[in-house]
Amino acid sequence: MNIEVISARKRYRLQAEAGSGLMDCLIKAGVMDATECAGRGICGKCAVKVHSGELAPTGEGPAEAQTNGRVLACRSLIKESVVIEIPCGKDDIKRKVCLPGLQQQERFEDTPVEKHFIQMSAPSLRDQLSDLERILAQVGKNKKAPRSLLKDLPDLLRRSDFAVTATLIGDDLIDIEAGDTHTQSYGFIVDVGTTTIAIYLVDLHTGAVLDADGKANPQRTFGSDVLSRISVASAENGNREKIQAVTLEAVSDSMRHLLKRHGVAERNVYNVIVVGNTTMSHLFLGVDPKNLAVAPFIPCYRNRVSMKGGDLGLPMHPEGTLHVLPNISGYVGSDTLGVAMATKPWEQKGYSLAVDIGTNGEIILGYKGWMLACSAAAGPAFEGAHIHNGMRAGKGAIETVCFENNGIKLGVIGEAAPQGLCGSGLIDAVAELLRAGLLDARGRLADETSEATGRPLGDRLRVSNGMREFVLVLAGEQGSEQDIVITQKDIRELQLAKAAIAAGIAVLMQEVKINASQIDRLYLAGAFGNYLDRENAVALGMFPGIPAEKIIPIGNAAAEGAGLCLLSAGQLKMADRIAAFVKPVELSARADFNEQFVREIGFPPVEGKSAS
Amino acid sequence: MNIEVISARKRYRLQAEAGSGLMDCLIKAGVMDATECAGRGICGKCAVKVHSGELAPTGEGPAEAQTNGRVLACRSLIKESVVIEIPCGKDDIKRKVCLPGLQQQERFEDTPVEKHFIQMSAPSLRDQLSDLERILAQVGKNKKAPRSLLKDLPDLLRRSDFAVTATLIGDDLIDIEAGDTHTQSYGFIVDVGTTTIAIYLVDLHTGAVLDADGKANPQRTFGSDVLSRISVASAENGNREKIQAVTLEAVSDSMRHLLKRHGVAERNVYNVIVVGNTTMSHLFLGVDPKNLAVAPFIPCYRNRVSMKGGDLGLPMHPEGTLHVLPNISGYVGSDTLGVAMATKPWEQKGYSLAVDIGTNGEIILGYKGWMLACSAAAGPAFEGAHIHNGMRAGKGAIETVCFENNGIKLGVIGEAAPQGLCGSGLIDAVAELLRAGLLDARGRLADETSEATGRPLGDRLRVSNGMREFVLVLAGEQGSEQDIVITQKDIRELQLAKAAIAAGIAVLMQEVKINASQIDRLYLAGAFGNYLDRENAVALGMFPGIPAEKIIPIGNAAAEGAGLCLLSAGQLKMADRIAAFVKPVELSARADFNEQFVREIGFPPVEGKSAS
């Protein structure tokens, strides 16, 4: 059968046998990513529009998507040739994940990778130094060379008239190249998030971040949160290896993609720093994460794991180094360590908070001589998952919402027709609903028949499938093909998420007996933190007691901190020390966290939004 | 076609197609080793006896062997089913290579491999140390663990109730095993000689040498001496890799064989020390040896090359260590360094000589504060090659010869019928010919018609193919199936070999201006040195001016010294220092070596052999 697939950017022509599953076929062909519910008909993110031809239902449940006559690919079988439209082709997704740029990294004196151009005299009967010693005489007598470097060294030296570039990592002489290549030195920062993987290509010679690539973490087909992934990894023989394999493949793909775009050879990639939460680090390394999920919650390892570049088969110099930064505890991973390294609270005046909002909200509270960290399970709402019309921050995602008089002004990523809501849009919309009086402090949407009557936009409230919802976009408005709504359940998800963050912050402050007014600054890290409207986050009570002007968005600080470790041997050592220095605070074991959490579920009293 | 092969110990039944080469077929089936001339019809070592059926000649040259109606396998094609007898089956050769036993090694305090049995308390909510840190708390906080160790560590610890054995090499924690396995610790000494590879299995826990295996170096099919192997390795793309591959395969086979015999798991092999001359070390590592053969004779590397056990695929723990000991120069390899480490001239009183006789004779002259070393190209005569009826010291080899009245008393290895002469037998025979007056001081065999008339055994002199020869064994005598002779050419080969050694010694003594009477001891190393009759070697003038009573046979000292480095981190470091400390003396560049060489070609005046 011929399957023609129309995506936002391309047309694909695929072949499939009658009776095969449409979703499998789309994933295999690489035009659709596996979805967050792993094809169980739950998330609705695989809905496709059939332009011509017909699909057969699998019979496992309703195949109709909730919008506009679309059908779920995961619930459909191929029975004849069809033309379908997918909401967002895989290649679009890749391009569109928003990665905040890293700050230009400085160039450190103690770079772990050194390249030296050296010009030697040729050997003679009066100068019978071996080839290797001739090089070591220039770069340090005690450097060690791997066997792989020796193999063809004699020819290389003579072909290049004894003018070569030596690459050194610490005491290891890892490569000799003909001629002067000392400026060709590259590294990667790999930030393995539960939902998103971000990869940065760094020029080790100048310290500049050259480019970035982001993609959905392919592990999500094994579950959307860390607990379900741990359970899958532990459930069946080989699952752990599979999870590691898809992760490494995704990382390799992104690395290759960036290398190609910048014309960089794999051989010139010498250093890679990987950060992630403790579970992501375990899975990246193929290490059994089972005990992270059961009391007493023991990680297999905590310290930094370093290895040769060739060990995991990533596209880099096989004798280069790959460091997975140390975790702080079973709940607080190396990504949080990265945030600590990027913000360095011990160098700041007064009390600093740093919050990295992802599927988990990692929170650091630091002062000169101490640091506390915890991880609050916010859930994936901020990343657009588990939200009725939620989506990741890509093309077509509503990222800003502003109620004006009787209209709604939307900011949509990529100047496209709106397709759904990402985290920042959701926060804006809920804050505006609060201000408009369409949502009360307990998080209940107004009754569409009584309470809302006469209020601006009150006519957009309705009940659908027995649940109240607010219609942000009606099908036809702004080019949208479907209604985009915020349901009562979406608001509950958001309340749980923001309450987890707020309670986490409160517990850390209680731990050192300070209150919110004493906090001097709150660093807001992560892609989401960068695009978040600070006023609106404050309006929702995400950071109780901390005014918007103290909030400083800092982009992907986890990667930023990893970048310091990539460029400086001293920063890498410091990260090892800091990992042991930060005191992890385990929230789930604490009654006061649960009390705080319940207290933070509601919204604070409405204030007008200041003109910012 | 059916090929039935009768060897000394076994019968083999093989299948071959008509028209295929007999030798290829025998080598492929593993019943014959490749011969020293690589099947070019020169060495005659592939001669087989045809019991039934007929072979076809290849037409490349005469197929008849020089003895008893045998034919050369390398010059024969299969045309019908045959029954043939081979002189010495491959499995016999393996068993029979004579390896001098190493001395019982002492147990050092600073063993590089440590195994500790540790018993830990299980984690709890009050003790949330990670699994790895729980172990490191017992064995040292700063030890590093490879990724491979982490993967299944959580399960292992819990299965073994937190009672495990940790294996450490330096700062690396390389393995964790359930229960107490601290006595299971093994290593290998690998001595890669140009002609023979010797492998020793060592118990690292007790320091005992448990067993040894020896085999012909399979590189000999690429040439019998180092120069021809360098030329082959450099000639064609892929040759170098092939040479390395056959070498590693031979080493792996021997290791596996010894491991099986002693019931030792590959995983419990943690350390391997490799020695060999500079060319052998280069080829073992797959390193381009080309420049060793052309002026100014530059090795690719000189220092120790260390790597992980997994790097070369040898049967050992992949995170164990393999060290190829440093070379002293392009001519003086790590095997000589091993001899220096075993004899330690700097700890002795007075002047010490150490001579390791193989295809090259490596000579060390040392005193408290200095050491000189050189390598004299003796050729393979001492190992039975390039000798008309020569063979390696295996079953059927005549290893001692004594003329008694009018008879000849032979010592044959393995109480078998004599098949040929090994090096020590050749030396004995020539010394006896000298004493009997059948050989003059210039090395000329007596004329069979005039000079020999009336002398005992004079009737055994004859001329064959225009060359004088002495018949040591007539076909039929002592069960021999063929005449075993010593030809005039054999005697010339021996003269060249012993003159090279003698001249090498003389040059080293000249270098420090001492004479032979000042030498306090001469250590005679190597398999050959151990079986050599010292009186006879002196009678031939191999060690001019040094009496037999100063000669101390010390077995395989190269391996002995390697064993010290296997068992002690301090000895390994000392070997690195000694390699830089020994002054190599390059013989080929010196006019005085050539003068001495010519002077030493003849034999000294005959003295009676003392009763020893």
Residues in chain B: 612
Express as a percent the part of chain A with pLDDT over 70. Answer: 93
Residue B597 has pLDDT above 90, yes or no: yes
Residue A604 has pLDDT above 60, yes or no: yes
| Closest chain A residue by Cα to residue B157 | A300
pLDDT band, residue A518 (cuts 50/70/90) = very high
Chain B residues whose beta carbon lies within 8 Å of the beta carbon of residue A130: 298-303, 327, 330
Instruction: Give the mean model confidence (pLDDT) for residues B315-329.
Output: 97
- Interface predicted TM-score (ipTM) of this complex, two decimals: 0.80
Asked if the C-beta of A129 comes within 8 angstroms of chain B's C-beta atoms, the answer is yes
Residue B496 has pLDDT above 90, yes or no: yes
Helix axes B239-261, B226-235, angle to 10 degrees: 120
Give residue-wise pLDDT tens across range A54-86.
898 888 888 877 666 788 888 899 999 999 887
pLDDT score at A93: 35
Judge residue B466's burial from the number of C-beta atoms within 10 Å of its C-beta, 0-12 exposed, 13-18 middle, 19 or more buried: exposed
Amino acid letter for position A267? R
Express as a percent the part of chain B with pLDDT over 70. Answer: 93
Asked if the C-beta of A170 comes within 8 angstroms of chain B's C-beta atoms, the answer is no
Of B125, B152, B303, the CB nearest to A295: B125
Residue A2 has pLDDT above 70, yes or no: yes
Chain A residues whose beta carbon lies within 8 Å of the beta carbon of residue B146: 307
pLDDT score at B103: 58
Of A147, A287, A589, the CB nearest to B150: A287
pLDDT band, residue B98 (cuts 50/70/90) = very low
**Helix, strand or coil, per DSSP, at residue A588:** coil
Residue to mutate among A121, A144, A147, A294, with most B CBs inside 10 A, is A147
pLDDT band, residue A36 (cuts 50/70/90) = low
Helix (H), strand (E), coil (C) string for B408-437: EEEEEHHHCCCCEECHHHHHHHHHHHHHCC
- Rounded CA-CA distance A580/A339 in Å is 15
- Rounded CA-CA distance A450/A387 in Å is 26
Judge residue A142's burial from the number of C-beta atoms within 10 Å of its C-beta, 0-12 exposed, 13-18 middle, 19 or more buried: exposed
Q: Do B130 and A154 touch (CB under 8 A)?
A: no
Give all strands (DSSP E) within A236-295, no chain letters.
269-276
pLDDT score at A30: 65
Conformation bin of residue B523: beta by default, left when phi > 0, alpha when psi is -120 to 50: beta
Cβ atoms of B297 and B331 within 8 Å: the answer is yes
Cβ atoms of B27 and B33 within 8 Å: the answer is yes
Residue A29 has pLDDT above 80, yes or no: no
Express as a percent the part of chain A with pLDDT over 90. Answer: 63
Express as a percent the part of chain B with pLDDT over 90. Answer: 63
**Helix, strand or coil, per DSSP, at residue A278:** helix
pLDDT score at A377: 85
Residue A355 has pLDDT above 50, yes or no: yes
pLDDT score at A97: 35
Residue A91 has pLDDT above 50, yes or no: no
- Rounded CA-CA distance B570/B112 in Å is 9
- Rounded CA-CA distance A68/A475 in Å is 9
Q: Minimal Cα–Cα distance from B503 to chain A, Å?
A: 22
Q: Which among A99, A92, A102, A199 has a CA at the least distance from the CA of A414? A: A92
DSSP state of A447: P
Asked if the C-beta of A153 comes within 8 angstroms of chain B's C-beta atoms, the answer is yes
Of B298, B303, B305, the CB nearest to A123: B298
Give residue-wise pLDDT tens across range A273-316.
999 999 999 999 999 999 999 988 899 999 999 999 989 999 99
pLDDT score at B90: 40
pLDDT score at B345: 93
> With a CB-CB cutoff of 8 Å, which residues 570-599 of chain B face chain A?
589
Q: Do B132 and A287 touch (CB under 8 A)?
A: no
Helices and strands of chain A, counted as H and E runs:
16, 28
* pTM above threshold 0.90: no
Conformation bin of residue A547: beta by default, left when phi > 0, alpha when psi is -120 to 50: beta
Of A125, A130, A311, the CB nearest to B300: A130
Instruction: Give the mean model confidence (pLDDT) for residues B402-406.
Output: 84
Give residue-wise pLDDT tens across range A363-402.
999 999 999 999 998 887 887 888 999 988 888 999 999 9
pLDDT score at B74: 87
pLDDT score at B68: 64
**N- to C-terminal Cα separation, chain B:** 56
State the DSSP H helix or E strand holding residue B124, giving kind and residue range, or none if neither: none
Residue to mutate among A135, A139, A151, with most B CBs inside 10 A, is A151
pLDDT score at B94: 33
Instruction: Give the mean model confidence (pLDDT) for residues B238-262.
Output: 96
pLDDT score at B395: 85
* C-alpha neighbours within 13 Å on the C-beta side of residue B451: 13
Instruction: Give the mean model confidence (pLDDT) for residues A344-363.
Output: 91
More confident: B266 or B29: B266
The Cβ of residue A417 has, within 10 Å, a number of other Cβ atoms equal to 16
pLDDT band, residue B87 (cuts 50/70/90) = low
Q: Which among B535, B529, B534, B428 has a CA at the least distance from the CA of B472? A: B428
**How does the average pLDDT of chain B come out, rounded?**
89
Of A130, A144, A300, the CB nearest to B130: A300
Cβ atoms of A463 and A448 within 8 Å: the answer is yes
pLDDT score at B89: 41
Q: What are the strands of the beta sheet with B47-52, ordered from one edge? A: B11-15, B2-6, B82-85, B47-52, B71-72
Residue B586 has pLDDT above 90, yes or no: no
Q: Do B296 and A131 touch (CB under 8 A)?
A: no
pLDDT band, residue B282 (cuts 50/70/90) = very high
Give residue-wise pLDDT tens across range B165-197.
999 999 999 999 999 999 999 999 999 998 889
Residue B27 has pLDDT above 60, yes or no: yes
Q: Do B152 and A288 touch (CB under 8 A)?
A: yes
Cβ atoms of A554 and A342 within 8 Å: the answer is yes
Residues 6+ apart with CB under 8 A from B591: none
**How does the average pLDDT of chain A come out, rounded?**
89
Examine residue A154 and say whether the peptide bond preceding it is cis (omega within 30 degrees of 0): no
**Helix, strand or coil, per DSSP, at residue B280:** helix
pLDDT score at A68: 64
Give all strands (DSSP E) within A196-286, no chain letters.
196-203, 209-216, 269-276
Q: Which among A388, A379, A369, A256 has a CA at the least distance from the CA of A314? A: A256
Q: Minimal Cα–Cα distance from A303 to chain B, Å?
A: 8
- Rounded CA-CA distance A90/A218 in Å is 12
* Residue A488 main-chain phi, psi, to 5 deg: -55, -35
| Closest chain B residue by Cα to residue A588 | B125
**Helix, strand or coil, per DSSP, at residue B17:** coil
Give all strands (DSSP E) within A429-543, no chain letters.
461-464, 467-473, 484-487, 519-525
pLDDT score at A102: 58
pLDDT score at A89: 41
| Closest chain B residue by Cα to residue A125 | B296
| Closest chain A residue by Cα to residue B576 | A142
> Which of these ranges, A408-412, B101-105, B119-123, has the smallest mean pLDDT?
B101-105
Give all strands (DSSP E) within A61-171, no chain letters.
71-72, 76-78, 82-85, 113-119, 163-169
pLDDT score at A96: 32
Residue A611 has pLDDT above 60, yes or no: no
Nearest-5° angle of CA A549, CA A554, CA A560?
160
Residues in chain A: 612
